[in-house]
Structure formats: C-alpha cells, structure tokens
Structure 1
Amino acid sequence: MAISSKARPYLLILAVVLVVVGVVVARLPGQTDGSAVATSTSPTPTTPPGIGGDGAGDPYYATDGNTGYDVDRYDVAISYDPATKKLDGKATITAKATEDLTRFNLDLHKLTVSEVRVGDQSAKFSQEGEHELVITPAATLAANQPFTVVVAYAGEPQAFDDKALGTSGWQISASGGAFAAGEPHSATAWFPANDTPKDKAKFTLAARVPNGWSVISNGREGASASADGWTTFNWTEDTPLATYLATVAIDKWQFERSELPGGTKIVNAYAPGAEGKKAQQNKLPEILAFLSEKFGPYPFDEAGGIYLSDNIGFSLETQTRPIYAQWADLETVVHENAHQWFGDSVSVSTWADICLNECFASYSQWLWAEAKEGANLDDRYRAEIEKRKDNDGYWGNKLYDMGRGNEFRGVYDKGILALHALRRQIGDPAFDQVLKGWTSQHKDGNATWPEFEQHVEKIAGQDLKGFFAAWFRGDQRPSDEYLLPGTLRR
C-alpha cells in the first residue's frame, strides 16, 4: 500500500503533537476523531476442542480470521446495482478441516446471511458480534476432510472505519460505481472469508451489473455474458491470495489489453476522468522487467492496473492488478508492483511483520531512481539522515512489532533508510542474493520478520542482531556504527 504524500506530513505532525500530550496515535485520511489506539497485543482466543476458533491469532487483530480449517478456493458470485447500492451474493468456499469440527466461523461485515449449506445439507448459523458468521454443520467434519460451504447473503456493503487506519473496504466511486480495497480489512465487506493473510486461497468472481457498467478484478479475464439488461463479468486468480488482496471494481471502465513478451497478459482499466494516467501505466512493462531483475521472475500470470477517479488516501497492491487513487504517480506504480513480490507472493504471517511488505516496496522506489534517473542513493540517504537528526518522533517509529494502529507510521520513510543501511552493511552481492532468495523460498506462502533476519544473517555470514535491533526493533536513532555502515561513512 502507498499512502498519499499529502497524508504523510499530516501523520507525522499529528504523532508529534500527541506525544507531547502523552498519547501516541496514527491517523489516516478518513478518520473522524483522535481517539487513542492501544499498542499492546491482543490475547489469542482459546476455544474448546471441536469448535473452530473465532480468531487466527494475530497479535493486533485477535478476532480476524478463524481456525479449524484451511480454505482452498473462494467462488464468489455477486449482483450489484449502483442505483440502489444493494448487493446479492453467493459464496462457495472449498476448504479442508484441520481438526474435528462441530462448529466453525467465517468473517462477514454487516451483510445479512439468508442460508448456509455445508456439503449438500442445510446448516444452522448465526451472526454474532461485528463480523462472525457462526456455522454448525448437520454432521461433524472430520479432521482432514474436504468440504464446501455455500453462503447466500445480501445487503448494502459498508466500509470499515478504523480510528487509526481510516476508511477501507467497500466504497462508492465518484461515478456512482463502487470498489473494494483496503488493508488490513476489505474482503469481508463483500464476501464471507477466513480473513487472515495466513490462509491464502484461489479466487474466482462472477459479478453481475446493469448494462453500461463493467467490472474488473484479480487475475485472468473470462468471457462476459449479457441477459435481461444485466452483464456478468468473470475473473479468476489461480495463485492463492490473501483475502485483503481480493478486489472488485464497478465503473464505466475504459479497458486496455496487451501482453508482455513472456506471455503475461496485461489488463488496465481507467474510470471516467482517469484516462490521463495511460501514459504513466504504459511504463508497466518496463517496471516489471526492472523489478524482475531485482527480485526474480514476476510471480503471476496476469498484470495490470485499476485507475480510479477518486482521491482516496491510499493506493493498494490488489493481487495482479493494483488499484490506484487519483493522486498516484509513477513512483506509486513502482511501489505497488514491487508488492506483487513483497506482500502478494510472499505474504505476512501477522500484521506485526508489515515491514516485509512496505519497507521493500518503498525501497524499490529508490532502486528505480538509482537505475533510471541516476540518483546517488548514498547522498540521498545522508541528506535524509541530516534532515531527521533531531526528529525523535521519526526515529521512534518501530519497523517490526510496532503495535496495532501503528503499522504504517514508519515503513514508508524510515523503512527505506533501514534497507539502504542494510544494503551497505552486507554489500550489494549479498543484498541481491537476499532479495531473490527470499522471494524464491517463500513464493506463494507466508513469512515472518524474524525469519527474514535469519535469512539475511545466513547469506551475509554476519551477526546482525545489533543492526536489526537498532534499525527495525528499536525506537531511537541508531548509533553511528549502524547508521553509517560501509560506504555511508565518509
């Protein structure tokens, strides 16, 4: 995810002010008050045997996701009328029980369920709390048993309004259409899911909209079909994705389709008023070729971009096809496509690991400037260090295990400096090996920040505990030993 450059100074000023009064809180555009955000971790829910847990154990979002099963695929079918803002949906979820289950949960946000079937039998269900869909199948699901869940639901999808992270999920576009994007929450605003990045799954969408509207989503474009004044658009992503990386965008799109030399298909979509972004998006083949040199082969079969005419506060790396706010520039395109490796192909295990996504996508902007614009990154680094030398608020942003609500406070700026310092600490050959080895070893999976530290130490042949403690785990300006390694020390 990239945050609007206009929002970043706002966040920094707010943080400094609140530190003065003894409260630390991060806010993004869309937040309506300044309530404090707790930074302590949440306890992991415990459940009796045979009952799937109503939380996947994330330290910051204890009730996100569920346990007791592993999802293989989401097949989602929706009908949406922009005139009424009403959605009707049916989701077929293919999964496997990881323990004997007499009951399990899905996550669904403010939509009303009318029917649930497990296999070929009706199942009892209830909707509890803000997002728990509690399902009791007619018979116990045995451990390792594959099963399907079919959920019928309807309503007017609602956005998530988080006091720390702003507005995300389902939003109405300037044209009257709609789109779904956000982090860490988005998917469950429009379909039921196991809403944790740890349970990645394949995804298929059939979206039916009135004629005149069109739909873009993740992955491979299928044939569309029209009947009775409505058109159904079909999209399939067969590489497992984390749920927050699924998107649907409904508008009067102008599509452009092309293909890379290796066969990767590109689909770009421009909302009315966003056509001026075409020249920028035409750089995508060059961007993907550059990033492939740095990170290894592009990890998906599809690529492209979704350009809104809406000035939301973020752009997002929705898998294979990032979604861009009106303000998005070429650096943003580099950033979001770097996420296809760091964040999408290799996903976090918990939200405490978010630097694995954002620090690397942000540093890719510097790599691009170095290669394409001749930027001297050591000079740029020193200038940033000098500018920030007395800024305690800046250095106080931890990059690992930063606390709930603080996930996006340091990763876009301090994270860049930290990775450049790491590059100079271990040298370019080792740094290149670190990047390509990481994306290869964890392709299509999940990983943690401590695993990354071990990965770097093994390749570099160095004890880097002090370095990582100073830059990523610490909340103070690093000592000169770690601040100015290698060629950074003049």
Structure 2
Amino acid sequence: MFNRRVRTLLLGSLVCTLVACTATEPAPPQRQPPSSPSIAPGAAGIGDKYYPNDGNGGYDVTGYDVSVSYDPATGRLEGDTTVTARATQQLQQFNLDLRGFTVTSVDIDGARAEFSRQGDAELVITAPRALAKDSTFSARVHYNGEPVSVTSAQLGTNGWQRSSTGGAFALGEPQSAAFWYPVNEHPRDKATFRLTARVPEGWNAVSIGRLENTTTANGWTTTTWTEPNPVASYLTTVAIDRFTIERGRLADGTPVVNAFAPGTDAVRGDARRLGEIIDFLAGKFGEYPASTAGGIYLGENIGYSLETQGRPTYTRSADLETIVHELAHQWYGNSVSVESWADICLNECLASYSQWLWAEGKQRDNLDARYQRAIDQLHDNAGFWAPRLYDMGTGNEFEGVYNKGILAIHALRRQIGEADFNRVLREWPARHRDGNASWPDFERFVTDISGQNLRGFFDAWFRGTERPADEYLYPGSLGR
C-alpha cells in the first residue's frame, strides 16, 4: 500500500483526495439452520484481535475458483465461486465472509447445503453431512446483486468502486475480497486464486495471475486469470474498464501485463521501467517471488495504490516512487504476509524504505544526510513520533509506517551494520516465502543475525510514542 495522504520531507508524496462511495444494505437474513450439537461449528473469526470478525475458523482454504459476470450498464454482478478447503476439525457448520449480495444456493461437494446470513459479512453454511478432520471439501456459492463498498476505511473506500468511465474495480485493505466473492478474509489463510470474468464486448476484465484465455461470443468477452502462488485475499482484484493492454516478459521469462485505463498516459513512461525496478529490488531482496509482473493503472484518484499480487493497482496520481514501493511489497507483504494486522510494519516500513534504497542506488542520494535533515526538522514534533509502529491499535495501522517507519529502518541499518542489514533484507523473505510471519518474529530474526541485544532499540523505535533516546536515534555512522 502506498498512501498518498502522507506528504513529508521523507517521501515527497502528494496529498490525496479520498473517494466516497455509498454502501447498500446487505440482503435480509435467512433462517439459521441447526447444526449437530456434538460437532463444534467453525469459529466466526480467525483470531486476529484487531478484526475479530475477519476470517473464519475450522478450515484452511487451498484455492478459490471465482466466476463473475458484470454489466457496467446495470451495475449488477452475478457470481459463482467454489472454495476448496481442508477441514482443520470435524466440521459441519462454518462461515465464509461475504458482504452484500443475495445468495441463491450453496453446495458442499455437490450436495445442497443450508445457509443463512449473520451481520454484515457472515455467510453461515451447514453441510448436509459432517466433514471429517483433515478432509478436503468444496463449497460452491451462487450469488447476485449490486456490489457494495464502505467509505469508513482508513485509507479511503474499501470494496467495489465504480470508475468515472463507467467501469468498476475491487480494492481495499484490510478488507476487499468479501465485497465481490465469498472468502476466508484474512492474510493468515493464503490460497491459490483463479478468476473467470465475463463482461460486455468492448470492456476488459483484468486481474492478478497469468492470463489463461480470452474469448468473445454473443456480445460478451470472457477472460480467465490464474494465480498459482498462495495469495492473501486482499491482494486479489478485478478491474473492468476500456483498458489499453501491453504485454511482455521479464528477462527471466516472467509474463508482464500492464493495463492502462483512459487518462493514465502520464504514468506510462515510469511503468515501462518495470524490469529495471524489479532487477534493482531483486538485487536487494533476492529472487523476484511473484508468478507475474505488471500493473493495473486506474484513471481514478482514489487516494492510494495497492500491491495486488504480481500486478499492483495504481491510482491516477502514481509515480515512479509509488511503483518502486508497490513492487517492493511483492517480497514484503505479499510473499511474506502478516500474521496479524498488528504486524503491518513488516509490509509498509520495509516497502517504504525501498524508496530510500532506490534513491540511494539510482540517484546517489546520501541517506545519512537525508536522515539527519529529517531528524533535525522533526526533533520536537511530538505528533510525528506518537504513532507506534508495532501493535498500534485497530484503526491506526497506517498512521506512522510510511514516514516514521522509514527513519526506523534506516536507524536499524546503522545499528546492526551494512553486512548484517543486507543479510536481513535477503534472508527474511527467503525464509518465509509464501507464508506468514509476525513483527516479533522479525525482531528475533534480526537479533540472531546481528548478535546484538536490540531490545532497547526495538522498544524505542517500534513500540515507543516519543522521540527515541539519542543512543537509538544516532547509532553507528549517524552518531554525533
């Protein structure tokens, strides 16, 4: 995520203008079916204290096969999604996350299942028979309606958004997938993803993953995208517009798709530096971990860009710095995803610091001098130092990670030294590739590599709410 609200002397970013979308009410609740009293239902949340209703328990998703048909003229979506999962307990009743829509049927392994709706986002399913622990099952959901969104999200609008051209796109963090398909919506449950999107002829539907096929018949175009790597659900997307599509390959053969909506001519030059940026970041972080590359360039100023897997989605105001940031997320945030939303600095602090690495490597910027200027100007700015970078509290995840987070990572670099810092940058994403990790895991990892006692440093920078003491503010070559 690159938040355009943040403008500091550190990033030189533009102030964003957030877009407001109006949410519609979810479908009325249906009858709650009974489940066997001897079998505990899957939990209604995955266990993240920040968002206790996000995700679900009782199963682990292995793959999503999503099929949607969307007509921009009516704004209605018809969906047919199959969720393949492994039961982690004996299971008969479990939940999927789905916001809005009318659900018309649910099948479990081909047999009709009972279902109901609870709250704003819970689809409660009762299988026709108990599912054994460790068994694999499929849940197929048919649904339809006009997709919804919420405007109360930290960074802007989450969910399904209409574009000024008449098209639409699904985007948001920490939630976005449940606004267009049933899902176990938490980064902890990563799965493969396949999308088949049907739109009227003349429109394009672009998503993450590899382009499998495109056909046009009877006035409709159907496109299938397949992502073979495990992906956190908020990193999936579909964008529907009259895109100009440019295709190519990286030097290693990785397929590239850039999709430019009307009004995005200004960013095309920066977008074509994709291979150069990935090569640079791979030199810092190790082998590029995504199955595809490219970008979805929206013609809308929505206030943020998002690191949708392998093919980030960019706001109209995106620039070269934004592209560097979102591509860095392919290592930090996408391949290695957070265990909890309290760990978001693992994503944003490191991706933000990639912008400094780019400035150092490509523009010969003196980062120590940049750091010292920032500290001098922000020395007594209590508001700048107040946000915690770890366990910052629900609703505060994106408050300090884009600016204070950069200074913290640069100070860490000087604290542990260049050789150990370079090891951290490469070995961390390699160790946790396609998995999840927490910020405390990262602290232990850095401590082990450096051989230093870093408790005071991490507490001052990442848990503290005041300017760090000078011993942590000016380590190594930053010393005065």
After TM superposition, the score normalised by the length of structure 2 is 0.94
Structure 1 equivalent of residue 472 of structure 2: 482
* 2:227 equivalent to 1:265: no
* 2:208 equivalent to 1:208: no
Deviation at 1:264, TM superposition (A): 0.8
**1:413-444 per-position Cα deviation (integer Å, ceiling 9, x unaligned):** 00000000000000110001011110000000
Amino acid at match of 1:2: F
Deviation at 1:31, TM superposition (A): 7.0
How far apart are the structure 2 equivalents of 1:256 and 1:276?
A: 15
How far apart are the structure 2 equivalents of 1:189 and 1:343?
A: 21
How far apart are the structure 2 equivalents of 1:232 and 1:225?
A: 5
Q: Give the alignment of 1:52-71 within 5 angstroms.
A: 52-71=42-61
Deviation at 1:181, TM superposition (A): 1.0
* 2:221 equivalent to 1:231: yes
Structure 1 equivalent of residue 130 of structure 2: 140
How far apart are the structure 1 equivalents of 2:263 and 2:38?
A: 54
Q: Please, which of 221, 224, 241 is the counterpart of residue 211 of structure 2?
A: 221
How far apart are the structure 2 equivalents of 1:200 and 1:358?
A: 19
Amino acid at match of 1:264: T
Q: Give the alignment of 1:431-450 within 5 angstroms.
A: 431-450=421-440
- On the 8 A contact 2:227/2:291 being kept in 1, the answer is no
Runs of 5+ consecutive residues of structure 2 not aligned to the other structure: 9-15, 22-36
Amino acid at match of 1:350: S
**1:53-104 per-position Cα deviation (integer Å, ceiling 9, x unaligned):** 0001111100000000000000000000000000000001110100001200
How far apart are the structure 2 equivalents of 1:31 and 1:8?
A: 21
Given the superposition, is the C-alpha separation of residues 387 and 31 from structure 1 closer, same or farther in structure 2, using an over 3 Å criterion?
farther
* 2:445 equivalent to 1:459: no
Structure 1 equivalent of residue 105 of structure 2: 115
How far apart are the structure 2 equivalents of 1:28 and 1:279?
A: 24
Between stretches 47-56 and 353-362, larger displacement belongs to 47-56
Amino acid at match of 2:410: H
Deviation at 1:165, TM superposition (A): 4.1
Give the match's secondary structure for 2:92.
coil
Amino acid at match of 1:199: D
Q: Give the alignment of 1:279-318 within 5 angstroms.
A: 279-318=269-308
Given the superposition, is the C-alpha separation of residues 113 and 166 from structure 1 closer, same or farther in structure 2, using an over 3 Å criterion?
same
Q: Give the alignment of 1:8-23 within 5 angstroms.
A: 8=7
How far apart are the structure 2 equivalents of 1:133 and 1:281?
A: 40
Amino acid at match of 1:4: R
Structure 1 equivalent of residue 33 of structure 2: none
Structure 2 equivalent of residue 2 of structure 1: 2
How far apart are the structure 1 equivalents of 2:38 and 2:261?
A: 49
* 2:242 equivalent to 1:252: yes
Deviation at 1:300, TM superposition (A): 1.6
How far apart are the structure 2 equivalents of 1:349 and 1:277?
A: 34
Amino acid at match of 1:29: L
How far apart are the structure 1 equivalents of 2:159 and 2:366?
A: 39
Q: Please, which of 453, 460, 471 is the counterpart of residue 470 of structure 1?
A: 460
Structure 2 equivalent of residue 366 of structure 1: 356
- On the 8 A contact 1:255/1:268 being kept in 2, the answer is yes
Structure 2 equivalent of residue 81 of structure 1: 71
Structure 1 equivalent of residue 12 of structure 2: none
Runs of 5+ consecutive residues of structure 1 not aligned to the other structure: 10-26, 33-46
Given the superposition, is the C-alpha separation of residues 48 and 360 from structure 1 closer, same or farther in structure 2, using an over 3 Å criterion?
farther
Amino acid at match of 2:203: W
Q: Give the alignment of 1:87-98 within 5 angstroms.
A: 87-98=77-88
- On the 8 A contact 1:68/1:104 being kept in 2, the answer is yes
Structure 1 equivalent of residue 18 of structure 2: 29
Percent of residue pairs bearing the same amino acid type: 56
**1:144-195 per-position Cα deviation (integer Å, ceiling 9, x unaligned):** 0100000000011111222544311110012110011110011110000000
Give the match's secondary structure for 2:74.
coil
How far apart are the structure 1 equivalents of 2:43 and 2:17?
A: 31
Give the match's secondary structure for 2:131.
coil
- On the 8 A contact 2:336/2:432 being kept in 1, the answer is yes
Give the match's secondary structure for 1:170.
strand
- On the 8 A contact 2:18/2:301 being kept in 1, the answer is no
How far apart are the structure 2 equivalents of 1:407 and 1:75?
A: 30
Q: Give the alignment of 1:331-480 within 5 angstroms.
A: 331-480=321-470
**1:388-425 per-position Cα deviation (integer Å, ceiling 9, x unaligned):** 11111110110000001100000000000000000000
Deviation at 1:30, TM superposition (A): 4.5
Amino acid at match of 2:2: A
RMSD over equivalenced CA pairs, Å: 1.5
How far apart are the structure 2 equivalents of 1:215 and 1:118?
A: 29
Given the superposition, is the C-alpha separation of residues 375 and 49 from structure 1 closer, same or farther in structure 2, using an over 3 Å criterion?
farther
Give the match's secondary structure for 2:349.
helix
Amino acid at match of 1:265: P
How far apart are the structure 1 equivalents of 2:113 and 2:406?
A: 50
After TM superposition, the score normalised by the length of structure 1 is 0.92
- On the 8 A contact 1:28/1:164 being kept in 2, the answer is no
Given the superposition, is the C-alpha separation of residues 147 and 374 from structure 1 closer, same or farther in structure 2, using an over 3 Å criterion?
same
How far apart are the structure 1 equivalents of 2:39 and 2:142?
A: 28
Structure 1 equivalent of residue 175 of structure 2: 185
**1:13-53 per-position Cα deviation (integer Å, ceiling 9, x unaligned):** xxxxxxxxxxxxxx983479xxxxxxxxxxxxxx9952000
How far apart are the structure 2 equivalents of 1:96 and 1:316?
A: 29
Give the match's secondary structure for 2:334.
coil
Structure 2 equivalent of residue 22 of structure 1: none
How far apart are the structure 2 equivalents of 1:385 and 1:112?
A: 54
How far apart are the structure 1 equivalents of 2:461 and 2:71?
A: 49
How far apart are the structure 1 equivalents of 2:72 and 2:438?
A: 40
Give the match's secondary structure for 2:316.
coil
Amino acid at match of 1:238: P
How far apart are the structure 2 equivalents of 1:342 and 1:156?
A: 34
- On the 8 A contact 1:28/1:165 being kept in 2, the answer is no
Deviation at 1:129, TM superposition (A): 0.2
Amino acid at match of 1:399: L
Given the superposition, is the C-alpha separation of residues 272 and 166 from structure 1 closer, same or farther in structure 2, using an over 3 Å criterion?
closer
**1:268-321 per-position Cα deviation (integer Å, ceiling 9, x unaligned):** 000011133211101110000000000000002210001011001100000000
Aligned residues: 458
Amino acid at match of 1:470: A
Structure 1 equivalent of residue 233 of structure 2: 243
